[in-house]
Amino acid sequence: MLLSCYLEEVLQMKEQTAPQVLKALAVCRLRHCVALWQLLTSLKSQNMMRLKGDPFAAFPEKYKLPLSDEDRRLLSGFIVKTVADGFLLEMHEFLLLKLKNPNAPEEYRPDWGLRDTVVSYMERKDLDVSPEVEDLFPEEICLSHYIEAWKFSVVFKQEIAVRDFDGEVIDQGYLFS
């Protein structure tokens, strides 16, 4: 949906909006705003982590269990073998929109599989799910490890991005204890 149509028809704000603004919005779609929101909120969480803050402090503890070494190994394999950016953005969106509520564990049980839950969420949004996600994202990881899985995946991806020519990781202070 074009943003100009959204503004005029859904929000009914045509009269309050300058014609030049409506003209500019006529070339933008609502999905562009959603994608920008996904990116900016994810970057905000990543920056909070980098600054040793906890972007998920207010989330239910049931989604914050630590990952096992095996889970970390499996997630590392997924990140190395795929282009995980889009899936990580969808994971973050789901986290913010669905799991932040204190009653979320009643609707999204912590023992449910993370991959299947997020894939189902993406399918309800009519998004294409990469076959790599369905084939390579570890099905063993449950929602109870959701926050740590997202954090680990983002940090691991950042570490890969900052490797120098010798394969050494440049310390960016992203690691968590």
Is 176's pLDDT higher than 70?
Answer: no
Q: What is the pLDDT of residues 100-135, one digit of tens each?
A: 999 999 999 999 999 999 999 999 999 999 999 999
168 band by pLDDT with thresholds 50, 70 and 90: low
Average pLDDT of the chain?
89
CB of 55 within 8 A of CB of 48?
A: yes
Q: Rounded to an integer, what distance in angstroms lies between the CA atom of residue 87 and that of residue 30?
A: 20
Tokens of 9: 């028809």
Q: What is the pLDDT of residue 30?
A: 86
pLDDT classification of 17: cutoffs 50, 70, 90? confident
Q: Identify whether the C-beta of residue 93 lies closer than 8 Å to the C-beta of residue 99.
A: no
pLDDT at 28: 87
Name which of 147, 152, 145 is nearest 57 in CA terms: 147
**Whole-angstrom Cα distance, residue 174 to residue 159?**
8
pLDDT of residue 64: 97
Rounded to an integer, the average pLDDT of 47-74 is 96
pLDDT digits (tens, 9 = 90+) for 28-45: 888 888 999 999 999 999
Mean pLDDT across the stretch 76-98?
93
